[in-house]
Structure 1
């Protein structure tokens, strides 16, 4: 990495997620894009997590930025440009150290500049295996408190692996380009969480779902023929357990300051092939059982083992679809226990 000296600053090109040096401070100029919903309370600013030698030591948010104002009743979006903001992490521990900054998971971030008070070199995490994960907005982070506390980030930390999170909010839809991306990305263990977006978009029927899953897995296996591959079904979501989609905003809830969702399908439509979470879990379990005869490194995890009926009674989904920050922590801890420990599907592939 090259550095440019400018007065008392050292401006560092942003080409790595981890810096090493005897730094007293790190300063970022960023241009965030923040979302708000008409009729709903303002969303909190995105959080930047600072890790020093792997430990969370600071958090900050950026001011300014662009804004997207979304009207759920009309489906319109208004974009307002704004200025870049600056955030600073100072008084870092003495001596040479690894400094890692996790960008907000819940707002778009354009990095404009990074400044330090001393030379820094880019590093990549060494000695750790790479866990590649794909899922929906729940995997993306939804309502987690910060980027290092999304459930996949927590599970990766507990499993001592490097995470590549391909959580795509609203878009875990068995798209071929996603399968090709997973196929072409170097990884040790891989997990794919399938289901909720297929129901809440009402994208396909059971007849199309089964071959789409097979095709998705076939594509991944082209690049990872023997890599441990874990198929995870949806966590409990009562509105869609037995009722098909699509999901729709419940506008009556806006008056209370909490946007919620409801299922608009008819349970009777399951007979014609409409998908529910129960249907998807049964079919995923059957597909994995069928394929394991020729693919012993393929495993299945029922998402209700991560968040089930007892959890919903204690920690209900605030908007009926997405887990809150406390639930993200619970899901992350459970996934690490089920996947990364002895006898888990990733146990022999993450050290």
Structure 2
């Protein structure tokens, strides 16, 4: 069973089965993952290493890190047709309309060349009223791209940012080899669901993917939906991952989960940065505070969901805290921005490669008026594009913290 999106390359006559060349899916063909787990079906990309996964039993984190945001298959080939068998796990919220299938983006020599989705797959059925979930097994699906140019080229297949994706088999009508190293810098980024890609159009159009493309760098995206909580195991993953540029976007999850007070926040930020610096003592390191989120600017969390329009697939988030609770150390986005700015300024006196970015420069008051957050928490596709363009301009431009340094 195959599925091809309308804007995929032309549907040339598919090769006969005997003409397909299978290629094992190995680590040298997969970029953006920190670990590949062998499963009964194939390989499952993870964005946190096994040791980190073993230190937290939270189901939200387990789902987020196994959703392959920023993970892509990359190879060089003359093939004009490519098939990828995958076993996705798609999330179904009981009582709401089914969500669209996750998207696979095809890039040829760095340029968008098609988009498709995989049919079938497992279904994770979530009951939002009770918090319970069950997985219903489903079949392997096939993503197919045809009509590719008949020449040697670099091919990238970006995996859905919102579907756990087991890679089962790769087939082409010409041999495949690992893509040559393009000599690009590696940008390692950590953040919340906004960095993960929530509500972006597709995997190569999340804001970090767009910023990486504009900045000419290779992305490793550790945006973890609901899970940017200054966890020590995440800091160690950043510490141990080779990278030329690092950014950490800190704040919104700490507010909307209401897991921490200011007394714990400040040393936790210092400890997180200390751990990253153990592995990357002089790497440019950018600390970014939250983008504007009106419900939590001055009102603490937790965030709670309004399910009154859930049957139409609409959820609105609200802030359940009381602004008066700031006096007791509860966190708001403005409290976090002020403290992050102070921490970075303090540390930068001895760490000239440490930088701060106020997230409202990526999405602020004027942007909120023009492009309000549809659910009051997450940006839409147009806003992802704006944030990606702004980040690239602020971070990678001449004089920016990620700008190329003179040799």
TM-score grouping bracket, smaller chain normalisation: over 0.9
Match of residue 399, structure 2, among 322, 343, 346: 343
Superposed counterparts of 1:264-303, under 5 Å: 264-303=320-359
* Aligned twin of 1:10: 21
Superposed counterparts of 1:237-256, under 5 Å: 237-256=293-312
Matched pairs, number: 346
- Pair 1:332-2:352 in alignment: no
State the Cα distance separating 1:39 from its structure 2 match.
2.7
Unaligned runs of 5+ in 1: 1-5
The 3 A distance-change label for structure 1 pair 165 and 225 is same
- Pair 1:133-2:189 in alignment: yes
SS at match of 2:281: coil
Query: CA–CA distance in 1 between the matches of 2:105 and 2:206?
Result: 12
Alpha carbons 1:233, 1:301 under 8 Å: kept: yes
Task: Kindly report structure 1 stretches of 4+ aligned residues shifted beyond 3 Å.
Answer: none
Unaligned runs of 5+ in 2: 1-16, 30-72
Alpha carbons 2:248, 2:288 under 8 Å: kept: yes
* Aligned twin of 2:372: 316
SS at match of 2:308: helix
Match of residue 288, structure 2, among 232, 249, 271: 232
- Pair 1:26-2:82 in alignment: yes
* Aligned twin of 2:242: 186
Of stretches 17-26 and 213-222 in structure 1, the one that deviates more from structure 2 is 17-26
Alpha carbons 1:22, 1:96 under 8 Å: kept: yes
CA RMSD, aligned part only? 1.4
Alpha carbons 1:159, 1:340 under 8 Å: kept: yes
With the length of structure 1 as denominator, give the TM-score of the two structures. 0.96
SS at match of 1:50: strand
Query: CA–CA distance in 2 between the matches of 1:350 and 1:343?
Result: 11
Q: Deviations over 1:154-211 (max 9, x none)?
A: 0000000011111111110101111111111111111000001101110110000000
Query: CA–CA distance in 2 between the matches of 1:24 and 1:350?
Result: 41
Superposed counterparts of 1:91-102, under 5 Å: 91-102=147-158
Q: Deviations over 1:90-120 (max 9, x none)?
A: 1110111111110001111111101011111
Alpha carbons 2:307, 2:314 under 8 Å: kept: no
* Aligned twin of 1:3: none
Query: CA–CA distance in 1 between the matches of 2:225 and 2:105?
Result: 21
The 3 A distance-change label for structure 1 pair 169 and 177 is same
